[in-house]
Amino acid sequence: MSHLTTITQRPSRHAAALHGKIVLPEHGAYEVSRRAWNLAVDQRPAAIVFPETTQDVVSAVLFAAQHGQRIAPQGTGHNADPLGGLEDTILLKTERMREIAIDPVGRTARVQAGAVWLDVVEAAASYGLAALAGSSPDVGVIGYTLGGGVSFLGRRYGLASNHVRAIELVTAEGQHLRVDAEHQPDMFWALRGGGGSFGVVTAIELELFPVTRAYAGHLWYPIERGDEVLHTWRELTARRDLPDELTTVGRFLNLPPVPEIPEAIRGQSFVIVEAYHVGDPTHADDMLAPLRRLGPINDTMAEVPMPALSHLHMDPPQPVPGAGDGMMLAELPPEAVNRFVETAGEQAAFPLLSVELRHLEGELGRRRVDSGALASIDAAYALYAVGMAPVPELELAARTQITALKQAMVPWKAPHMYLNFAETPTDPASLWTADAYDRLRRIKASTDPDDRIRSNHPVPSA
Ligand SMILES: Cc1cc2nc3c(=O)[nH]c(=O)nc-3n(C[C@H](O)[C@H](O)[C@H](O)COP(=O)(O)OP(=O)(O)OC[C@H]3O[C@@H](n4cnc5c(N)ncnc54)[C@H](O)[C@@H]3O)c2cc1C
């Protein structure tokens, strides 16, 4: 019997409030409840709480504090790996809090803590609006936005965290607050890009944009053409006349021979260029012409409604075991493309499922005076690599390959890492500018001096 069992059996106001919403290690439901979206993560918390209301979150935070436990909010568990084992921690899974309210006139969405991006994207699209969603349909809106949020619309509109109007949270002391630019501005600043160290967010209010369609898709080539395709793609991203409306990704894909993958591409390897354009498609066609001249074996570019963007990147729509990590690149000269192709392409020592270079810059790279803790992204490209990890041997092989790739790209490393693409424990000082990091530490020290709120990328107190 766990330490918490006796406690939950004793009459206590907070324990009573969580009745039916708390799972302990000796409960049959524990094994399923403790799972993260990344099934390779082995988290074993002291208890798991599934709040249904803001009051449940308050009760969970106070219950944890009363019994010397820390509390780790989790939306989906996409970035659960760096959280660690979670001993002496209550895992607070927000998946039952998924309400979404769209204000079509004010062009905002109020989104509860457990909502995933596809929920919001579809709700917004029904009013002719778009959200700054990430590539995946089931990444959590809150975790993504607290880390910054790089969308395929990001070069045009900037970081998702810079388009947050207000945030509702429960503090480490169990206080429920609504913070915005006028109310508790320090906390509002910290939560927009500073990650999940400052409280349990219960809801967030986001700006939406009047975009209904995009011109988007992929150009596919055999993996052997990695060199010429990625050099041509690099030249496109370096064009002075490249519009912010166009975002592209250069990527190697090694698709496993599993039934979930369409038969035509199952078990094969490709180099692909993905393109996402909001605006007149002919402008994108002009930009993509040199890549088309290389003769892709498949060209899927088409005008699509906004929700289609949540599926185009082919992120898995359900939990999977994976080993992934990212790296930010300040620049990508031709030698960097050579190194990338040598290490991640056809000749890679171990074929990862996906290795991508996302072009950033545009509005993502412009600092805003009213920004949060992450004002902008000071990198031109994001590298993200992931391998399937159904068994420890494959996880180790994938991790070894990702480490080798990151090592190979060190000469072009950007000054700061981006929190959302860091899936292994990362030096927090590397995630923000020195000023922003100092301010985050001071805010952490004044709002959670005992470090009760546990985040995957924790900000230590000053
Ligand atoms: C397949 C895939 C695709 C991705 N695509 C993109 C992309 O296009 N752009 C991008 O920017 N990122 C992307 N990411 C990264 C993603 O944004 C991060 O992994 C993010 O942390 C996921 O949030 P989550 O809530 O789903 O994950 P979780 O693992 O549940 O949460 C991560 C952390 O967020 C914090 N958190 C979550 N909920 C709360 C809450 N209610 N209160 C306080 N803190 C909270 C906690 O610190 C938690 O440890 C992708 C990741 C994957 C695996």
Q: At what angle do helices 226-237 and 334-344 cross, to 10 degrees?
A: 140
Banded model confidence at residue 103, pLDDT cuts 50, 70, 90: very high
**Domains contained in the chain, number:** 3
CATH number at residue 307: 3.40.462.20
DSSP 250: E
Structure token pair of residue 413: 């490393």
Banded model confidence at residue 11, pLDDT cuts 50, 70, 90: low
Assess whether 387 and 241 both reside in one domain: yes
Banded model confidence at residue 317, pLDDT cuts 50, 70, 90: confident
**pLDDT for residue 164:** 98
Assess whether 276 and 413 both reside in one domain: yes
184 found inside a domain? yes
Q: Are 375 and 367 in contact (CB under 8 A)?
A: yes
Assess whether 17 and 135 both reside in one domain: no
Q: Output the CA torsion sign for 227, 229, 230, 233.
A: positive
Banded model confidence at residue 371, pLDDT cuts 50, 70, 90: very high
The percent helix, strand, coil of the chain (3-state, each to 5) is: 35, 25, 45
Question: What percentage of the chain has pLDDT greater than the value 90?
Answer: 91
Assess whether 319 and 176 both reside in one domain: no
User: Tell me: the pLDDT tens digits for 318-329?
Assistant: 999 999 999 999
**pLDDT for residue 435:** 97
Assess whether 267 and 162 both reside in one domain: no
Number of the ligand 1 atom closest to the C-alpha atom of 358:
8
In angstroms, rounded to a whole number, what is the distance separating the alpha carbons of residues 254 and 232?
21
Please, what is the end-to-end C-alpha distance for the chain in angstroms? 37
**pLDDT for residue 15:** 78
CATH number at residue 196: 3.30.465.10
**pLDDT for residue 461:** 86
- Give buried/exposed letters for 250-283 (b at 16+ CB in 10 A, else e): bbbbbbeeeeeeeeeeeeebbbbbbbbbbbebee
**pLDDT for residue 5:** 61
Task: Please check the confidence at residue 177 and state whether its pLDDT lies above 80.
Answer: yes
Q: How far is CA 172 from CA 88, 177, 359, in A?
A: 16, 11, 37
User: Tell me: the pLDDT tens digits for 117-132?
Assistant: 999 999 999 999 999 9
Assess whether 163 and 15 both reside in one domain: no
Q: Are 353 and 402 in contact (CB under 8 A)?
A: no
Domain boundary among 210, 239, 258: 210
**pLDDT for residue 7:** 57
Over residues 364-389, the mean pLDDT reads 96
Q: Are 26 and 36 in contact (CB under 8 A)?
A: no
Distance of CA 26 to the CA centre of its chain: 32
Angle at 288 between CA 136 and CA 263, to 5 degrees: 50
User: Tell me: the pLDDT tens digits for 251-295?
Assistant: 999 999 888 888 889 999 999 999 999 999 999 999 999 999 999
In angstroms, rounded to a whole number, what is the distance separating the alpha carbons of residues 37 and 140?
10
- Give buried/exposed letters for 210-229 (b at 16+ CB in 10 A, else e): ebebbbbbbbbbebebbbeb
State the chain's mean pLDDT as an integer: 95
47 found inside a domain? yes
Assess whether 414 and 280 both reside in one domain: yes
Domain boundary among 165, 191, 210: 210
Number of the ligand 1 atom closest to the C-alpha atom of 199:
43
**pLDDT for residue 369:** 86
Ligand 1 pocket mutation, candidates 79, 276, 315, criterion most atoms within 8 A of CB: 79
User: Tell me: the pLDDT tens digits for 32-73?
Assistant: 999 999 999 999 999 999 999 999 999 999 999 999 999 999
Assess whether 188 and 296 both reside in one domain: no
Q: Is 77 in the pocket of ligand 1 (CB under 6 A)?
A: yes
460 found inside a domain? no
Ligand 1 pocket mutation, candidates 41, 120, 136, criterion most atoms within 8 A of CB: 136
Domain boundary among 161, 191, 210: 210
Assess whether 206 and 217 both reside in one domain: no
In angstroms, rounded to a whole number, what is the distance separating the alpha carbons of residues 390 and 396?
11
187 found inside a domain? yes
DSSP-assigned letters across all residues of 283-303: HHHHHHHHHHHT--SEE--EE
Number of the ligand 1 atom closest to the C-alpha atom of 322:
53
Q: How far is CA 201 from CA 174, 192, 223, 425, in A?
A: 12, 11, 43, 22
Assess whether 223 and 284 both reside in one domain: yes
| Residue among 255, 220, 243, 231 nearest 357 (CA) | 231
How many Å is the maximal CA-CA distance in the chain? 72
Domain extent, residue 201, equals 100-210
Q: Is 78 in the pocket of ligand 1 (CB under 6 A)?
A: yes
Q: How far is CA 384 from CA 252, 353, 356, in A?
A: 11, 11, 5
Q: Are 303 and 214 in contact (CB under 8 A)?
A: yes
User: Tell me: the pLDDT tens digits for 193-220?
Assistant: 999 999 999 999 999 999 999 999 999 9
Residue bearing tokens 């994001």: 382
Question: What percentage of the chain has pLDDT greater than the value 70?
Answer: 98
442 found inside a domain? no
Q: Is 143 in the pocket of ligand 1 (CB under 6 A)?
A: yes
Strand partners, 287: none
Q: Is 301 in the pocket of ligand 1 (CB under 6 A)?
A: no
Burial of 401 (0-12, 13-18, 19+ CB in 10 A): buried
Structure token pair of residue 86: 């979670």
**pLDDT for residue 8:** 57
Ligand 1 pocket mutation, candidates 41, 48, 74, criterion most atoms within 8 A of CB: 74
Q: Which residues, 6+ apart, have CB-to-CB distance to 37 below 8 Å? A: 76, 77, 78, 80, 138, 319, 320
**pLDDT for residue 3:** 59
Task: Please check the confidence at residue 361 and state whether its pLDDT lies above 80.
Answer: yes
Q: Is 79 in the pocket of ligand 1 (CB under 6 A)?
A: yes
436 found inside a domain? no
Assess whether 130 and 219 both reside in one domain: no
Distance 144 CA to ligand 1 centre (A): 4
Point out the least confidently predicted range of 148-162, 213-227, 304-318, 429-443: 304-318
Q: Is 200 in the pocket of ligand 1 (CB under 6 A)?
A: yes
Q: Are 216 and 130 in contact (CB under 8 A)?
A: no
**pLDDT for residue 270:** 98
Assess whether 365 and 380 both reside in one domain: yes
